[in-house]
């Protein structure tokens, strides 16, 4: 098939099923078909890159030139950026066809896609369940076959948890591996860009396509990008796989427990060396994360003031009222909660007790991981305590929602990499993912381990 045919088929599929799934906030058929024609021209000229003509979707947190970018928020409902961010530009350079912008929690704050101003996205495996979040649309589109691959962002699990709930592969690279230039900031010391795909090979391919140093992002790291696909077949014989004992606790959902036990048995049979390890500060991770993430969010979201871009309230009297009305109307309840929490944690008198303390605990959590990696090559853990939950189930209970990221958040605090791989189904037929955590810049090892499992 030509790229134009593949793109048309994808657009038809979106048209047919997305009214039920709501994975897309914006579909871009005209731009996609122009890019597909260009891809066909490149193929005819023999300029074929691995992504040439492949229909890709982007979380609506990636700024895209000439295409509305909402970040799931009313405040950016009509925001059309003047440039492409680095990851998007790299995909385009390699001939990928962007079919649209995907649903997400507002400003990536959430674990269920329910805080989106554009309505919840639904889990294609069971439409009464959430797809997870915040990159819910990026995962649901893979499961619904309305994108071949997508990009998401992961601040505290937002790629890995929805990938797990939707039965796809989601990778959070090491902090600094992928440029965030042109990615709307949530919590800048935690945010990373990564791929969601149907399988591990596509994950390796897409990571290779977007990774690398970028002078436009001072946090991107200048280390070479390996050929991740070439390294996939190395196998896990002799690989040391650690099971952090704090992650296999009483009360883990029985379906999740069974899937983990089966995965461990499979790795053993493939010759991996399985050991127990300890990450003693795990219990503080969620609390630490919600101080740091909200503090950074309260600073990052100060730019939405109704002046420079985004929603501006009408009929305000004076500047101060214009700011407050614009923000009151533009932000949803979860975003407001986070701004208030973060502002509180940073305010004088509380800064040392909360923010500084959280930074210290973060360092301890990071050291836990580095210590574990003296003994093992990768860690194996569940992604989420339960399979996908029902829409509205946790909406009224933010603490319950925050706890659904208990196994993914520590990896962001440590700044290292993790991948979610499908590991079976619950009794109710919902996908369950397992997590492999790697050393800093150990993406190759977790991809290889994931590939052997797949
Ligand atoms: N659920 C977490 C939060 O709401 C993680 C979100 C994310 O990774 N973007 O902050």
Q: What is the pLDDT of residue 403?
A: 86
Pocket test for ligand 1, best of 185, 301, 405, 412 (most atoms within 8 A of CB): 405
22 located within any domain: yes
Atom number, ligand 1, closest to the C-alpha of residue 334: 4
Total domains present in the chain: 1
Measured CA to CA, the distance from residue 164 to residue 148 in angstroms comes to 17
Atom number, ligand 1, closest to the C-alpha of residue 290: 10
Q: What is the pLDDT of residue 400?
A: 85
Q: What is the pLDDT of residue 117?
A: 98
138 located within any domain: yes
Give 156 Cα–ligand 1 centroid separation in angstroms: 5
Q: Domain span at residue 70?
A: 3-210
pLDDT below 50 — which residues of the chain? none
Pocket test for ligand 1, best of 158, 164, 292, 398 (most atoms within 8 A of CB): 158
126 located within any domain: yes
Q: Which residues are designated catalytic?
A: 59, 134, 158
Q: What is the ipTM of this complex?
A: 0.97
Q: Which residues pair with 382 in a beta bridge?
A: 434
247 located within any domain: no
Asked if the peptide bond before residue 166 counts as cis, ω within 30 degrees of 0, the response is no
230 located within any domain: no
242 located within any domain: no
Instruction: Give 15's contacts (C-beta < 8 A, 6+ positions apart).
Output: none
Q: What is the pLDDT of residue 387?
A: 97
79 located within any domain: yes
Q: What is the pLDDT of residue 399?
A: 86
Q: Is the shortest distance between the CB of 296 and ligand 1 below 6 Å?
A: no
**CATH number of residue 141's parent domain:** 3.90.1300.10
Q: What is the pTM of this model?
A: 0.98
53 located within any domain: yes
């Amino acid at each position: 098939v030509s790229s134009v045919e593949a793109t048309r088929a994808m657009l038809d599929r979106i048209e047919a099923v997305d009214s039920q799934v709501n994975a897309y906030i914006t579909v871009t058929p005209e731009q996609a078909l122009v890019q597909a024609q260009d891809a066909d021209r490149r193929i005819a000229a023999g300029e074929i890159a691995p992504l040439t003509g492949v229909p890709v979707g982007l979380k609506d947190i990636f700024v895209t030139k000439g295409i509305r970018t909402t970040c799931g928020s009313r405040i950016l409902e009509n925001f059309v950026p003047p440039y492409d961010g680095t990851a998007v530009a790299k995909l385009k350079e390699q001939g990928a066809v962007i079919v649209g912008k995907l649903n997400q929690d507002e400003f990536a704050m959430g674990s269920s896609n329910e805080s989106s101003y554009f309505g919840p996205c639904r889990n294609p495996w069971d439409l009464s369940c959430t797809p997870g979040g915040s990159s819910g649309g990026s995962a649901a589109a893979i499961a619904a076959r309305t994108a071949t691959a997508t990009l998401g962002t992961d601040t505290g699990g937002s790629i890995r948890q929805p990938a797990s709930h939707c039965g796809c592969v989601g990778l959070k690279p090491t902090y600094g591996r992928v440029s965030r230039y042109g990615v709307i900031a949530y919590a800048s010391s935690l945010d990373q860009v990564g791929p969601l795909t149907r399988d591990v090979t596509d994950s390796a391919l897409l990571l290779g396509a977007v990774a690398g140093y970028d002078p436009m992002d001072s946090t991107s790291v200048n280390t070479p990008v390996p050929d991740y696909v070439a390294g996939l077949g190395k196998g896990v014989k002799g690989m040391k796989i650690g099971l952090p004992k704090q992650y296999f606790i009483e009360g883990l959902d029985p379906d999740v427990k069974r899937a983990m036990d089966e995965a461990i048995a499979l790795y053993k049979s493939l010759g991996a060396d399985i050991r127990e390890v300890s990450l003693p500060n795990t219990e503080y991770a969620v609390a630490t994360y919600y101080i740091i993430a909200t503090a950074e969010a309260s600073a990052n979201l100060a730019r939405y003031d109704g002046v420079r871009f985004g929603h501006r309230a009408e009929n305000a009297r004076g500047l101060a009222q214009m700011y407050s009305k614009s923000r009151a109307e533009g932000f949803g309840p979860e975003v407001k909660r986070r701004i208030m929490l973060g502002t509180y944690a940073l305010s004088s008198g509380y800064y040392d007790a909360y923010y500084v303390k959280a930074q210290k605990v973060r360092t301890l959590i990071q050291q836990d991981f580095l210590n574990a990696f003296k003994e093992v090559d990768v860690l194996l853990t569940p992604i989420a305590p339960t399979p996908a939950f029902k829409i509205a189930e946790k909406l009224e209970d933010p603490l319950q929602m925050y706890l659904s990221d208990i196994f993914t958040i520590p990896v962001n605090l440590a700044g290292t990499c993790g991948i979610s791989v499908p590991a079976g189904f619950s009794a109710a037929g919902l996908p369950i993912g397992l997590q492999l955590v790697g050393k800093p810049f150990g993406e190759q090892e977790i991809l290889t381990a994931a590939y052997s499992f797949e």
